Amino acid sequence: MKTYLLPSLKLTIILLVILAGIYPLAIAAVGKLTPGHGDGQTIQYKGRTVGYANIGQKFTKDEYFWSRPSAVDYHADGSGGSNKGPSNPDYLKDVESRIQDFMKRNAGVTRAQIPVELVTASGSGLDPDLSPAGAKIQVARIARARNMSAEQINKIVDLQIENPLLGMFGPAKVNVLRLNVALDQLKSKN
C-alpha cells in the first residue's frame, strides 16, 4: 500500500502547487501585460468610464451607431446565444422584426443591403464590434440625425477601423462604443 500511496500523495501535492499556485500566477502576470492590465479595457469620455471595449452595449438612438443585437440584452453576467436554429419560427420572427425596424429607421436601405450582423445576435450576445460595412450602412441615418455630412461620419468610421492582426488574422472591425464616443467628441468640438 505504501508503494502506491506515497507516490500518489507526492504527485497530488506537486500538481496542486503547479495548477493551483504557479499556473494562476503566471496567467495573472501575462494579463498584466495586456491593455487594461488584466482588468478589461475601459473607455473614458469626459473623465468618466462609459464602458468596456470588449463588451457590447445597446444603442437605439438614431444619432448613434447601433450594435449587433444581443440574445441576452447585453447583460455581461449572462453571456450566451439564443440557441435557436435558423429554421426556428421564433428566431425568424425576431430577425424579420429587426430587418423591418432597420429599414424603417434607415431610409433608402434595402433588405439585401443590410449586413447579417445587424439583424442576428452573436454567440455570446456581447459582441462589441461591427464590420466596416455594418457601420457604413448606418452613416446616412446618423448624418441626418446629427445634421452632419455623410463624409464627416465616414471619416470617423475610417479612423476607427481596426485591421486584422498582422494583416491576416481575423476580419477588419469597428468597435461600436469607441465609434460612438468619437462621434460625441466631434460634436463637442463643433
For 47-76, the pLDDT digits (tens) are 888 888 788 888 989 999 999 998 888 887
Q: 3-state SS string over the chain?
A: CHHHHHHHHHHHHHHHHHHHHHHHHHHHHHHHCCCCCCCCCEEEECCEEEEECCCCCCCCCCCCCCCCCCCCCCCHHHCCCCCCCCCCHHHHHHHHHHHHHHHHHCCCCCHHHCCHHHCCCCCCCCCCEECHHHHHCCHHHHHHHHCCCHHHHHHHHHHHEECCECCCECCCEEEHHHHHHHHHHHHHHC
Could you tell me which residues are beta bridge partners of residue 49? 44
38: Cβ contacts below 8 Å, ≥ 6 apart: 28, 31, 32
**pLDDT reported for residue 37:** 79
Query: Which residues of the chain fall short of a pLDDT of 50?
Result: none
For 170-185, the pLDDT digits (tens) are 999 999 999 999 998 8
